[in-house]
Amino acid sequence: MELCLATSSPDGCLDMLRMFFMSKSKNPIEDFVFSLSDDQFQLLIDSVDKRKDKEMYGFTSLEEAAFKYGRKPVCPHCGSRNYNVNGHTPSYHKRYRCLDCDCSYTLLSDSIFNSSKISFHKLTKYIQLMTFNVPLKECMEILEISSNTANLWRKKIFQTVTDYQNHVILKDRVWLDETYIEDYKILGSDYKEKRLRGLSRTKICIVVAIDSYKNMIAIICGHGKPSSNRIYKTVKNHITPNSTIIHDGEKAHNKLIQELHLKSEVYKADCKDDNYLKHMALINNMCGWIKRYIWRFIGMDVENLQTYLNWYVYLLRCQRDNDKWAKNERILRHLILERTRYTRK
Q: Average pLDDT of the chain?
A: 85
Lowest-confidence region among 5-14, 234-243, 332-341: 5-14
Per DSSP, what are the bridge partners of residue 212? none
Q: Is residue 200 part of a domain?
A: yes
Q: Do 283 and 234 have their domain in common? A: yes
Is position 50 within any domain? yes
Q: Is residue 216 part of a domain?
A: yes
pLDDT value of position 187: 37
Q: Is there a single domain that holds both residue 193 and residue 86?
A: no
pLDDT at 12: 59
Q: Inform me whether the pLDDT recorded for 283 exceeds 80.
A: yes
Between residues 338 and 11, the one the model is more confident about:
338
- 193-227 burial by CB neighbour count: b if 16+ within 10 A, else e? eeeeeeebebbbbbbbbbbeeebbbbbebebbbbe
Q: Are residues 178 and 278 in the same domain?
A: yes
For 96, 180, 219, 224, 312, the CA distances from 286, given in Å and listed in that order, are 47, 13, 13, 20, 11
Domain of 177 in residue numbering reads as: 164-296
Separation in Å, CA 161 to CA 166, 313, 314, 335:
10, 9, 7, 9
pLDDT band at 325, cuts 50/70/90? confident
pLDDT level of residue 200 (50, 70, 90 thresholds): low
Query: According to the model, what pLDDT value does residue 116 have?
Result: 84
Choice among 23-37, 114-128, 202-216, 281-295 with the minimum mean pLDDT? 23-37
Are residues 93 and 196 part of one domain?
A: no
Residue 84 in domain: yes
Would you mind telling me the total number of residues written for the chain in this entry? Answer: 345
Q: Is residue 190 pLDDT above 70, yes or no? A: no
pLDDT score of 189 more than 90: no
Does this model's pTM top 0.85? My answer is no
pLDDT at position 22 over 70: no
pLDDT digit string (tens) for 232-272? Answer: 999 999 999 999 999 999 999 999 999 999 999 999 988 88
Structure confidence at residue 29 (pLDDT):
80
Instruction: Provide, rounded to the nearest whole percent, the portion of the chain with pLDDT above 70.
Output: 87
Task: Work out how many domains the chain is built from and give that number.
Answer: 3
Q: Residue 185 has what pLDDT? A: 55
Residue 287, in any domain of the structure: yes
**pLDDT at res. 20:** 57
In this predicted structure, the answer to whether residue 24 has a pLDDT above a threshold of 80 is no
How many whole angstroms from its chain centre is CA 77? 27
% residues pLDDT > 90 (the chain): 52
What pLDDT does 213 receive?
92
Q: Are residues 191 and 82 in the same domain?
A: no
Statement to judge: residues 40 and 90 lie in one domain: no
180 touches 187 (CB < 8 A): no
pLDDT of amino acid 309: 95
Task: Tell me: do 233 and 287 sit in the same domain.
Answer: yes
Q: Is the pLDDT confidence value at 173 over 90?
A: yes
pLDDT class of 16 with cuts at 50, 70, 90: low
Pair 42, 87 in one domain: no
| Alpha-carbon gap, residue 261 to 255, rounded angstroms | 10
Contacts of 261 (CB under 8 A, 6+ apart): 241, 242
Asked whether residue 92 falls in the same domain as residue 42, the answer is no
Q: Rounded to 5 degrees, what are φ and ψ at 244?
A: -105, 125
Task: Identify whether residues 168 and 287 lie together within a single domain.
Answer: yes
**How high is the pLDDT of residue 128?**
92
Strongest mean pLDDT among 102-111, 234-243, 330-339: 234-243
pLDDT average, residue stretch 162-184 = 92
Assess whether 171 and 269 both reside in one domain.
Answer: yes
Which CATH number is 168's domain given?
A: 3.30.420
Cα separations (Å) of 148 from 137, 140, 152, 299, 303?
Answer: 11, 9, 6, 16, 19
pLDDT band at 220 (very low <50, low <70, confident <90, very high): very high
